[in-house]
Amino acid sequence: MQLKFDEYFMSMALREAEKAAKAGEVPTGCVIIEASEEDTMPAAVKILAKTHNQAESLCDATAHAEMLALSAAFASRGAWRLTNTVLYVTKEPCPMCAGAIALARIPRVVWGVSDPKRGGQTVFNVFTHPGMNHHPEVTQGILEDGCKAILQSFFKQRRSEAREKSICTQQQ
């Protein structure tokens, strides 16, 4: 039951990632929901935020999907403590986002694909670091294939465009 619930909201985050890719942004999408343990049906859940990366379009290095979602959720709640929430994100949060998520007291974080180079948890252990006063539960690998595919496709296209640009420059 939990898996289907998580997949429902991760698919929503994937749709946000698709919006990011179409805008030329790194395709990461994020959804924050307000849910109690009794909520087993997605229809019973309040969505506090749905966002995607916008660093390029906003010219803001901090405009990651998670940071934008946190800001929207704070505004929706009228508070910075996001207890009784779950954050869904297509790619493992970076250290900046992981730190903000922990500070916001989000009890559960769910991601699709881990980031073995810059992951806030898998590389930097932000969520389990003893110096942090909040340690969210983490679930990894939800709709991992889809989350990985959109990232790989985006960066493959970027590399191809860079090669074409390089070839054109050399021919001039």
Residues annotated as part of the active site: 66
CA–CA dist 2, 52 (Å, integer): 24
CA 39 to centroid of chain Cα atoms: 22
CA–CA dist 145, 127 (Å, integer): 24
As beta bridge partners, residue 33 has 47, 86
CA–CA dist 156, 141 (Å, integer): 22
Structure tokens given for 37: 């343990």
